[in-house]
Amino acid sequence: MGGAVSAGEDNDELIDNLKEAQYIRTELVEQAFRAIDRADYYLEEFKDNAYKDLAWKHGNIHLSAPCIYSEVMEALDLQPGLSFLNLGSGTGYLSSMVGLILGPFGVNHGVELHSDVIEYAKQKLDFFIKTSDSFDKFEFCEPSFVTGNCLEISPDCTQYDRVYCGAGVQKEHEDYMKNLLKVGGILVMPLEEKLTKITRTGPSAWETKKILAVSFAPLIQPNHADSGKSRLVHLPPVAVRSLQDLARIAIRGTIKKIIHQETMRNGNGLKNPPRFKRRRVRRRRMETIVFLDKEVFASRISSPSDDNNNSEDIEEERHEEEETKPSELKPDPPVNFLREKVLSLPLPDPLKYYLLYYREK
């Protein structure tokens, strides 16, 4: 699946292309996509393909195409504080983007069939939390992943505001999926070769909307051949935050507000202007076609000024390359103002590090 938009050179250009093609339509979704580099979820040897609008699969590891993820994110209509269940959570890429929108008081759970993929997702989540400056720009709802078949979720589990299934759902499992939703909730899943949005409008009332044609591998059916018994999947309990953690969230939020006010006061509140890449036009030699009687000869007719013009063109191209080099250099990484502000506070170092979640960067 994928290929709906052209490839980008980096994550931002990929997002620009998704916006231009109207796959990303809201600011919240755009911010989440820009905050997490898709390439970070690829194995090193496959990163060259990270910014193409294509799905990627290696063994049990799988990522859907960016155009699919953006349609899913838009259809879920995510808001801070909601609960989210990701069935077939895979690498955790989608769950992490969702967590940036849900904020500290949301619920973010994932069920994944393969234990090796769960370990991969946890590594990627740990890398994001420890190294990404985006972590400090958002209040993050950290995803929790459990191993199991999503068709064997315990019947006494809580219902969710938003549910996404990343594998093809057979018609016979449609009601099972619907029952995972709270009233007012939204379920997005591939159903009968269509990405489908289902809104629960009442205890037994539903609204269904087909979003786009897709092709997903079907859900793997439970296998009870070994024990003959179902292996129920128990989702994580909804954790109550400690007073200490609530204090950290409040302090970080206050510091962010102060930084924003200072930025606006200094006139730096505007967003960074879009980056335009200058394209150099290459000059090509023109060939002259000469007709003599009934025969045709293709040749280049030289003139005394050709050699001079050619050297002038080369010199001009070299000059243009020198001009464009500074703009093509990678800009300095943006300053993490929250980190700088916390480190400048007159507080004991252990408290500073606690406010920064003991992050390495």
**What pLDDT shows up at residue 251?**
95
Q: Is residue 349 part of a domain?
A: yes
How far apart, in whole angstroms, are the C-alpha atoms of residue 51 and residue 53? Answer: 6
Query: How many structural domains are present in the chain?
Result: 2
pLDDT band, residue 322 (cuts 50/70/90): low
CA of residue 140 relative to chain centroid, distance: 14
Q: Same domain for 110 and 136?
A: yes
Same domain, 77 and 158: yes
Residues 80 and 214 in one domain: yes
Q: pTM, whole model, 2 decimals?
A: 0.80
| Boundaries of domain holding 204 | 70-238
From 64, 83, 132, 134, the catalytic residue = 64
pLDDT at 8: 81
Q: Decide if 91 is inside a domain.
A: yes
Question: Residue written as tokens 């990270």?
Answer: 50
Q: How far apart are CA 211 and CA 169, in angstroms?
A: 15
User: Is there a single domain that holds both residue 160 and residue 263?
Assistant: no
Residues 257 and 221 in one domain: no
* Between residues 160 and 3, the one the model is more confident about: 160
User: What is the average pLDDT value for the chain, to the nearest integer?
Assistant: 85
Is 256 among the domain residues? yes
pLDDT at 268: 56
Question: Residue 160: helix, strand or coil by DSSP?
Answer: strand
**pLDDT tens-digit readout, 12-41:** 999 999 999 999 999 999 999 999 999 999
pLDDT of 334: 76
Q: What pLDDT sits at residue 325?
A: 54
Domain with 225 in it: what CATH number? 3.40.50.150
Cα–Cα distance, 255 to 50 (Å, whole number):
35
Q: Is 96 a catalytic residue?
A: no
pLDDT digits (tens, 9 = 90+) for 259-299: 989 888 886 544 444 444 434 333 334 343 444 444 444 44
- Going by pLDDT thresholds of 50, 70 and 90, the confidence category of residue 62 is very high
pLDDT of 323 strictly over 50 = yes
Examine residue 188 and state whether it is found in any structural domain, yes or no.
Answer: yes
Q: Percentage of the chain with pLDDT > 90?
A: 69
pLDDT at residue 354 is higher than 50: yes
